[in-house]
Amino acid sequence: MSELQGQCMCGAVSVTATPVQASLTACHCAMCQRWASGPFLSFQADTGYAALGPVRTYQSSQWAERAFCGECGSVLWYRMTAPGRMHGQTQMSAGLFENAGGTELKLEFFIDEKPAGYAFAGAHRRMTGEECRAMFAETADGEA
């Protein structure tokens, strides 16, 4: 995949990232709904991404932090902080990049928490909250 250039809404934060694969993820958990005012659409960024500008982070759970622009509040990324095989994995906000970097939706997290007012079309994987929590618990334990 090619390196992408993006920025927050006000332009104070510029981001360079390379998607690990050409796929988007949508998370419908309650935290993402509050944070992104809807589903959090993202792609997994390869290591070596860069962000310049007033980036702020918030430790939102025992296993992850969320980043946002300190000026306009734009959602930047979600990063795994717990030890284990997913430590450091970063889900970059697709909205920072033109046409979401040209990727398509392949996975939805917390599908059972999705509001009834919308649905994404297509044949892609959908995981329940129970499935997601089990996956994150395995990650935190360093198993699987």
Q: Give the mean model confidence (pLDDT) for residues 123-134.
A: 93
DSSP for 77-102 reads EEEE-SSSTTTT-EEEEGGGSGGGGG
CA 112 to chain centre: 18
> pTM of the entire structure?
0.88
Distances (CA, A) of 39 to 64, 88, 112, 113: 17, 22, 12, 10
Give dist(CA 74, CA 11) in Å, integer: 10
CB-CB neighbours of 9 under 10 Å: 14
Q: Which residue has the tokens 């996956």?
A: 135
Question: For residue 144, what pLDDT is reported?
Answer: 32
Distances (CA, A) of 110 to 32, 80, 130: 10, 17, 8
Q: What is the pLDDT of residues 73-119, one digit of tens each?
A: 999 999 999 888 889 999 999 999 998 878 899 999 999 999 999 99
4: nearest Cα among 38, 45, 39? 45
pLDDT at 140 over 90: no
Question: For residue 138, what pLDDT is reported?
Answer: 59
Query: With the C-alpha atoms ordered 87, 21, 120, 76, is the resulting torsion angle positive or negative?
Result: positive
Question: CB of 76 within 8 A of CB of 12?
Answer: no
Enter the tokens of residue 45. 């960024």
